[in-house]
Amino acid sequence: MKTEISRRRFLQGSAALTVVGVSGAASALIKIEEKSEIANFALTKTQITGKLQKIPTLCEMCVNKCAAMARVEDGKLTKLNPNPLFPKSRNMLCARGNAGIQALEDPDRLKYPLIRVGERGEGKFKRVTWDEAYEHIKDKMVKILDEEKDNRSTIGFCAGEGMAEHTYASFMKDKIGSFNFVNHSSICLATTIAGYTLTLGGYGQADLDNAEYVIMAGANRAEAIVTPDTMDLFKRTKGRGTRLVVIDPRFTNTAAHADTWLPIEVGTDLAFVLALTYVAFMEGHYNKRFAQENMSDFEAYKKHIINNKYTPEWAESITGIKAEEIRKISRDFMAHAPRSIYYQGRRTAWSHQDYQLRRAQAIFTALGGGIDKKGGIVFGKKLPLGEHNIPSPSYDNAKERIEKDKAAVVGSSGSWIAWRNTVIDGTAPYQIRAFFAYKQNPMLSVPNTKKTKQMLEKMDLVVVIDTMPSDTVMMADVILPESVYLEREDPVKTFGGSEPSIALRKQVVEAKHDTKPVIEIMRGLGEKLSKPLFEISKKYDESLQGEIADRGEAVVYKEEGYDLADGYRHSQTAINHHMVASVYGEEAWDMLQEKGVFYPDMDKFFKKRSVNEYQYYPEHEKSYSVITGDLINEPYHDTCVDTEEIAVLKKDFRTATKKVACALYNLKEKKGIDAMPAWRNELYKPTPEGRFRFITGRHGQFTQSGSSNNALLLDLLSENHLWINKRVADEKGIGLDDMVEVKSSIGAIHIKAYPTEKIGSNVVFFAHGFGAESSELTLAHHRGANDNLIIEDHYEKAFGSAAMHETIVDIRRV
Ligand code: SF4
């Protein structure tokens, strides 16, 4: 299907859809074209006769949560405008954010609860009431948990990132009692969180506003997360104050804004960083005082780098980046330090060496002293919120997570690939018999879609909570429709950083359909499940039996949290009110309700500087350096690092040694993970001649598969294309829009080609999020290709994170 809305029309505003009132996807597009002039005219100020409201919300079109002011006329949402008060989004909504209005209006939305009536995956459902849906889930869960003798972990669950993720996860984990949780972390940023946290004590925030030198490797901020600090950074590149070096096998839009773009062999970034470090050590270009004061096992690390001969020439042979370039970047980085950042990265699920790569980056940045320092990586402050405690029962028979031994460290967010594979390969210590999914679409988001389907097919019960009929929803037995973000109030959130604030997503309009926010779904499920599941625990849980004998059933049930709905009975607004007013008072709550944003002294600090420039905190109030220690005043000259900016503050990092951890001997001893970042040849597989390494990533207007049915965004990119090197494509007789087959060891897809010089000759790429199978997604159905049909299910063995760039493919024209 071809979308018809023009780009100009899209940019005119997202208002038209609400007024036109779409009823079917194809016809909706035609109606917009026909009626747009009237629709837009109808929204001019003079035409408003009814009540006009401005209601603060937070965007949910990606994870960034930019603040918006919704314009609501007579109860109808007519426009989303950026909210200038929020330091994080600084009066900006990107294209996706503007298209959020269509999330509300999408005619394909899930509108009421459904129960499957056909075969699983066949797409046949019947409409039911919420109570019937809960009853169905209860019957299945009682049977499963009785047969599994109250092993609560037989129920697996997953979640995508979102403000209500914690509400859902705490219900499934703390109330239902399962350990088998998997979220987006292991298919996203688990390795960079682990690498930076173990090395520096936290992931931190790259202070791009004040950095003078930034290396961004594989992080495509111009397209993956188009936020104000990204845009502001681009205003300062190319001789305007910040040097940006982009390392990427593709010439992305981020690379287009850079001062230097260096294509690299996929999977070799660790060799590049080790060589940068080698140069710094050999030439003495690093912040010696910072190293002496703040880095543990520093001399051992230096010896390790030098003795292993991680020379620029060695790195050139692996990465393809010239040795002289590596020397220059290392010197330039240190010359600008401490205002130099090796950007941490976001979705770092690339290769088998990701975790050590992130450690090496963090240590290299620390060598310049740019940690907990303006222009470097800062930790900032977080404004505390009041507590909302939920009593959680303990279940003696709940067993440990099934994939805990499949990687050295598997945390509470799990390893998606290892977990799923364990369910289906027969190595699980017990069966996973039920699966709950919230706001995640593993059929499209986890490598190897066939295996995810196999996993879901094995379940006795699949429950999915979502807003759209995704491929995962189509595999469900019970579908519980969530209200979209504009129809609900979510848990209030505190945003840390150098300019901390608290922000609120308020309900903007009444729910259009028979949908509910997560807190109400948890309440309904809790009320239905509490007593029947308590009976099962009474039957099998000896500790509970003892407690009941001692204290009486009614007391234990109430005090130990077996009433599964007890934490969810208050409205979200009442909980938010308590969490804010109990710490900052009623005035703060009032301000938050009205403005959507609050921080102490906001009324004093916030100033409009020019047409679109704002001050949130005066410079001296910003929290750049927050780690305590003794300031050493003497200037230190034995370094190339700018003495004016020298970072000589003795820190107190949140690591075991309280210093930047160059070596982690404990992890080596207990888990067999290299104590110091080291290149491992055996973990790197060069791309064979004539074949291609497949890489995936985001497009600027799409947020994974979540926005794939959005009519407004499809106008900007109607499907994904295969990026293939132009000369290679010519040799293969492949032209623009020719259909090609991309085949890996696990499957093949067909996709249109985009021959370009912007990608290396042994790499191919296409954007993630397309290729939905669900026929209920009228616009997204069979549009483009699903990358996870060909991405093999490799995962790195330190933290169980997906290694999505380890797949080798063949290409042919079809
Ligand atoms: S970056 Fe765009 S999509 Fe993401 S939260 Fe902000 S406005 Fe929404």
Distance from the alpha carbon of residue 706 to the mean position of ligand 1, in angstroms: 13
User: Which pLDDT band holds residue 515 (cuts at 50, 70, 90)?
Assistant: very high
Mean pLDDT of 601-622: 95
User: Which pLDDT band holds residue 119 (cuts at 50, 70, 90)?
Assistant: very high
> Is residue 805 predicted with pLDDT exceeding 50?
yes
Token pair of 365 as six digits:
């940045």
* 667 in contact with ligand 1, CB cutoff 6 A: no
The whole domain housing 796 covers 682-813
List 476's β-bridge partners, or say none: none
Query: Look-up: residue for tokens 């959005």?
Result: 710
Q: Could you tell me if 156 and 261 lie in one domain?
A: no
Residue 525 lies in a domain: yes
Cα Rg of the chain, angstroms: 27
**Counting beta carbons within 10 angstroms of the beta carbon of residue 631, is it exposed (0 to 12), middle (13 to 18) or buried (19 or more)?**
exposed
pTM recorded for the entire structure:
0.91
**Ligand 1 atom with the shortest distance to the CA of 93:** 7
Token pair of 727 as six digits:
């000369």
For residues 767 and 697, is the Cβ–Cβ distance under 8 A? yes
User: Which pLDDT band holds residue 227 (cuts at 50, 70, 90)?
Assistant: confident
User: Which pLDDT band holds residue 657 (cuts at 50, 70, 90)?
Assistant: confident
Within a 10 A sphere around the Cβ of 154, how many other Cβ atoms? 24
**Ligand 1 atom with the shortest distance to the CA of 98:** 7
Q: Could you tell me if 320 and 406 lie in one domain?
A: no
Which among 274, 335, 342, 149 has a CA at the least distance from the CA of 676? 274
**Per-residue confidence (pLDDT) for residue 649, from 0 to 100:** 55
* 96 in contact with ligand 1, CB cutoff 6 A: yes
**Per-residue confidence (pLDDT) for residue 132, from 0 to 100:** 98
Output the domain CATH number for residue 767.
2.40.40.20
- pLDDT tens column, 359-390: 999 999 999 999 999 999 999 899 999 998 88
List 587's β-bridge partners, or say none: none
**Ligand 1 atom with the shortest distance to the CA of 703:** 3
Question: 789-807: string of b/e by CB count within 10 Å (b at 16+)?
Answer: bbbbbbbbbbbbbbbbbbb
From 285-294, 742-751, 792-801, the region with the lowest mean pLDDT? 285-294
Distance from the alpha carbon of residue 632 to the mean position of ligand 1, in angstroms: 42
Output the domain CATH number for residue 364.
3.40.228.10
What's at 359, amino acid-wise? Answer: R
Q: Could you tell me if 359 and 341 lie in one domain?
A: yes
Residue 9 lies in a domain: no
DSSP track, 632-699: P-S---SSSS-TTS--------SSTTSSEES--HHHHHHH---SS----GGG--PPPTT-EEEEEE--
Residue 24 lies in a domain: no
Residue 72 lies in a domain: no
Q: Could you tell me if 358 and 444 lie in one domain?
A: no
β-pairing verdict for 478-481 and 114-116:
antiparallel
Take atom 4 of ligand 1 and give the residue whose Cα is closest: 62
Take atom 8 of ligand 1 and give the residue whose Cα is closest: 97
Helix (H) or strand (E) holding 764: strand 763-767
Which among 388, 379, 645, 360 has a CA at the least distance from the CA of 496? 379
**Ligand 1 atom with the shortest distance to the CA of 89:** 6
* 95 in contact with ligand 1, CB cutoff 6 A: no
Mean pLDDT of 690-714: 90
Final residue in a domain of this structure, among 641, 660, 678: 678
Residue 787 lies in a domain: yes
For residues 700 and 253, is the Cβ–Cβ distance under 8 A? yes
Give the dihedral sign, CA 577/582/584/587. positive
Which long-range contacts link 117-126 to residues 24+ away (Cβ below 8 Å)?
A: 120/456, 120/457, 120/462, 120/475, 120/477, 121/453, 121/456, 121/457, 121/474, 121/475, 123/474, 123/774, 123/775, 123/776, 125/479
* 57 in contact with ligand 1, CB cutoff 6 A: no
Mean pLDDT of 555-565: 97
For residues 179 and 394, is the Cβ–Cβ distance under 8 A? no
- pLDDT tens column, 761-775: 999 999 999 999 999
Best residue for ligand 1 mutational test, from 89, 161, 346, 701 (most atoms within 8 Å of Cβ): 89
Output the domain CATH number for residue 140.
3.40.50.740
Mean pLDDT of 8-27: 31
* 221 in contact with ligand 1, CB cutoff 6 A: no
Q: Could you tell me if 408 and 427 lie in one domain?
A: yes
Residues 6+ apart with CB under 8 A from 278: 305, 306, 309, 310, 311, 312
Residue 294 lies in a domain: yes
Distance from the alpha carbon of residue 23 to the mean position of ligand 1, in angstroms: 26
Q: Could you tell me if 345 and 427 lie in one domain?
A: no
Q: Could you tell me if 237 and 254 lie in one domain?
A: yes
> Is residue 575 predicted with pLDDT exceeding 60?
yes
Instruction: Give the span between the Cα atoms of 358 and 348, in whole angstroms.
Output: 9
Token pair of 179 as six digits:
């350990």
Distance from the alpha carbon of residue 66 to the mean position of ligand 1, in angstroms: 5
Distance from the alpha carbon of residue 701 to the mean position of ligand 1, in angstroms: 10
- pLDDT tens column, 18-46: 222 333 333 332 232 333 322 333 333 43
Token pair of 73 as six digits:
């006329």
Collapse the DSSP code of 506 into the 3-class scheme (helix H, G, I; strand E, B; otherwise coil) and give the result: coil
Residues 6+ apart with CB under 8 A from 378: 204, 205, 207, 372, 497, 498, 623, 624, 625, 626
Residues 6+ apart with CB under 8 A from 14: 79, 80, 98, 99, 100, 101, 102, 712
* 114 in contact with ligand 1, CB cutoff 6 A: no
Which among 729, 710, 726 has a CA at the least distance from the CA of 718? 710
For residues 543 and 394, is the Cβ–Cβ distance under 8 A? yes
**Ligand 1 atom with the shortest distance to the CA of 92:** 7
Distance from the alpha carbon of residue 61 to the mean position of ligand 1, in angstroms: 6
* 101 in contact with ligand 1, CB cutoff 6 A: no
Residue 479 lies in a domain: yes
**Per-residue confidence (pLDDT) for residue 628, from 0 to 100:** 61
Best residue for ligand 1 mutational test, from 57, 58, 65, 66 (most atoms within 8 Å of Cβ): 66
Q: Could you tell me if 804 and 729 lie in one domain?
A: yes
Mean pLDDT of 779-787: 97
* 93 in contact with ligand 1, CB cutoff 6 A: yes
**Per-residue confidence (pLDDT) for residue 75, from 0 to 100:** 93
Best residue for ligand 1 mutational test, from 226, 486, 707 (most atoms within 8 Å of Cβ): 226
**Per-residue confidence (pLDDT) for residue 229, from 0 to 100:** 84
Final residue in a domain of this structure, among 662, 678, 694: 678
- pLDDT tens column, 429-477: 999 999 999 999 999 999 999 999 999 999 999 999 999 999 999 999 9
Q: Could you tell me if 393 and 462 lie in one domain?
A: yes
Which among 482, 645, 535 has a CA at the least distance from the CA of 103? 482
* 58 in contact with ligand 1, CB cutoff 6 A: no
**Ligand 1 atom with the shortest distance to the CA of 95:** 2
Question: 385-412: string of b/e by CB count within 10 Å (b at 16+)?
Answer: beebeeebbebebbbebbbbebbbbbbe
Q: Could you tell me if 674 and 692 lie in one domain?
A: no
Give the dihedral sign, CA 699/700/706/711. negative
For residues 382 and 205, is the Cβ–Cβ distance under 8 A? no
Distance from the alpha carbon of residue 207 to the mean position of ligand 1, in angstroms: 19
Residue 349 lies in a domain: yes
HSE (side-chain half, CA atoms, 13 Å) at 233: 32
End-to-end CA distance of the chain: 21
For residues 572 and 488, is the Cβ–Cβ distance under 8 A? yes
Instruction: Give the span between the Cα atoms of 378 and 696, in whole angstroms.
Output: 29
* 227 in contact with ligand 1, CB cutoff 6 A: yes
Q: Could you tell me if 168 and 234 lie in one domain?
A: no
User: Which pLDDT band holds residue 49 (cuts at 50, 70, 90)?
Assistant: low
Best residue for ligand 1 mutational test, from 14, 60, 64 (most atoms within 8 Å of Cβ): 64
* 68 in contact with ligand 1, CB cutoff 6 A: no
* 65 in contact with ligand 1, CB cutoff 6 A: yes
Distance from the alpha carbon of residue 40 to the mean position of ligand 1, in angstroms: 24
Count of structural domains within the chain = 3
Distance from the alpha carbon of residue 58 to the mean position of ligand 1, in angstroms: 9
Based on DSSP, count helices (H) and strands (E) in the chain, helices before strands.
29, 29
Distance from the alpha carbon of residue 13 to the mean position of ligand 1, in angstroms: 16
**Ligand 1 atom with the shortest distance to the CA of 226:** 1
Q: Could you tell me if 400 and 341 lie in one domain?
A: no
For residues 740 and 668, is the Cβ–Cβ distance under 8 A? no
* 97 in contact with ligand 1, CB cutoff 6 A: yes
Take atom 6 of ligand 1 and give the residue whose Cα is closest: 66
Instruction: Give the span between the Cα atoms of 293 and 624, in whole angstroms.
Output: 19
Instruction: Give the span between the Cα atoms of 93 and 75, in whole angstroms.
Output: 22
- Helices 572-584 and 586-595 sit at what angle, rounded to 10 degrees? 130
Question: 222-244: string of b/e by CB count within 10 Å (b at 16+)?
Answer: bbbbbbbbbeebbebbeeeebbb
User: Which pLDDT band holds residue 291 (cuts at 50, 70, 90)?
Assistant: very high
Query: Look-up: residue for tokens 């916030």?
Result: 606
